[in-house]
Each structure stands twice: as structure tokens, then as C-alpha cells.
Amino acid sequence: MYTIVTGAAGFIGSNLVKALNERGVSDIIAVDNLKKADKFKNLIDCDIADFLDKEDFLHLLQEGAFDGQVRAVLHQGACSDTMETDGRYMMENNYQYSLALLDFCQQEHVPFLYASSASVYGGGSVFKESRECEAPLNVYAYSKFLFDQIVRRRWQQRSAQIVGLRYFNVYGPRESHKGRMASVAFHFFNQYRAEGKVKLFEGCDGYANGGQLRDFVSVEDVVKVNLYFLDNPDKAGIFNLGTGQAQSFNDVAVATINTLRGGSATLEQLQQEGAINYIPFPEQLRGKYQSYTQADMGALRGIGYAEPFLTVEQGVARYVQQMQRAAG
């Protein structure tokens, strides 16, 4: 029996593969698209049973090659570029792909854990897993939103566990291949090492420079939650996966710089010395940008997940230390 991980060479997918390995699980079918070939590096230290291109995998799935062979599906594969404007590509890659896997898992009575996104909430101020709070601002968010709606429509007829996890701002190891879509912690680390300063957006939507607030969640916690659901196949639903505590981009910058320096400077001190700079807010993002996100964690806590989440200060420090070790 196999565990299938889609997006397995990507950021969250590869962290899940590594975590499964650490549990002694290696009968993993890794599914991904390696057009961005550098992603292969995320799997170098992982043990898998096979690697399949996404298109080949879907073809084999529809032919019945995996019938009776699958223990669980962890579906992380998607186009996550919120600036992508090709709606047809986005819907085929995110929505139709997910639908095919959902159909398979329900036919086979197999647990299906999939990546949704906090982007479904758009510019709202309430981040609770209910329809009235959802208003996507771009086609990426719409592709995630629409699939969540299909899951809801089919909920009463489900034959096996279905879990949708609405990831907030995830950061951590194995994201370098994402380029401009990598986390701000990743970019701040590289900016400071290269230039001795970091760059944040100026204020917008009533927020001060660098003061926009996001729910930043470590990939360590994202993995823990996924494994919790694998261990508890009786628990199902669509859940936010953040920390429940919004923090500013300034907080991420301060944590990054202080970890690199081994110091404890304040935001004001770093601003005064020029270690934190602010650049004009991009015009193309106006009206499409979430200046505030904070996950309502009531649903996840309500079904029994009790583990604490890393704060920005804790999680970013661990991540920066890991990147320092890797950089030598």
C-alpha cells in the first residue's frame, strides 16, 4: 500500500515526505511536475518508492493502476502563484486536478488531505471557515475556493476522510525553489546577507510601513497538523491552518536580523541604522492584497488538536539558523 504525495518536490510536499520518512514510511509515490528542475533538491534526503510526473500520474490513476493500492493521498500539488493571470491554466491545474483525486479517494474509500488556502477569504477581516467570510480576490484563490465548495456539496455522501487545510503564510525549509513566491523570511535572510538590510513594503490600507499583519505559520506546524489527521481518520472537515495570531512584516524582519546578528535590537533601532528599508507598495497589488490575516483556530482546536504553534520569533529564528547552517 502506498501513500501518495502530490507536489512532493515542492515546499510543503517535500516536508511531508521527509516527516513520513522519519516515521519509517518510505512506500511513497511522489508526484510532481519538474519543469522547474531545481525542485528535485528537496527530495535528495528523502526515501520514496517512485516518482511520477503529474500528467503520467493522472493517466495511470484514471486507468485504474492504483486501485486497491493506496493508503492515503496528501494532495499538495498546485500552482500557487497569486500573480498568475491564465485562468484556464489555474483552473485545470488546481481545480480539475483536485477533483480527479477527490473522485478517486471516494471511490477507493481512501483518506484525502488537501491544501486549501487562506486566500479564499480575500480582503475580509474575519477568517472563519464559513461561506459568508469567503471572497477570493484572484483566480488562484478562486480555484481553491471553488474546490472547497465542491467538497461541501458532497460532504454528506463522503465514503472516507476528507480534510481541507487552509494554509495561511507558511515559511520554512525547502522553499528556495519558489523564487519570488517564497516567504518573506526567506527573502529577508538573503537580502540581509547580501546587502546588510532588508526591504519591506510601505504602508497601505491604513497600516504603517511594514505594519501589515499576517498569520505567519511555520512549515513544522503545518506538517504536524497533517500528520495529526493521518493519525485520526475519523476527523474530517475544512480547517484553517495558521497560528491564530497575526504579526507584522516588521516582526519577521526584526526576528530575521536579530537571529543573524545574535542580537536583540528593536524595530526602531534597526530602522534608525538603515537595516530595515521601505519600498513603494506595488501598484499591481492594490486591491488584490491581504493586508491583514489572522486564522480563527476554533474549528481545529474544537476537533481536538491541542499542540501549541510557533510564534514568528520562535519559528523564524529556527528557520534562519537552519539557512545559516546550510549556507556554511
**Annotated catalytic sites, by residue?**
140, 178
C-alpha cell at 133: 467570510
For the beta carbon of residue 278, count every other beta carbon within 10 angstroms: 17
Residue ranges of the alpha helices (H) in the chain?
Answer: 11-22, 54-63, 87-90, 97-108, 139-153, 184-195, 219-231, 249-261, 267-272, 298-302, 312-327
C-alpha cell at 253: 524582519
The strand ranges marked E within 121-179 are 162-167, 169-171
Reference 137, options 124, 126, 125, 122; nearest CA is 122
Task: Give CA–CA dist 113/116, Å, rounded.
Answer: 10
Task: Give CA–CA dist 241/117, Å, rounded.
Answer: 9
Q: What is the largest CA-CA distance in the chain?
A: 63
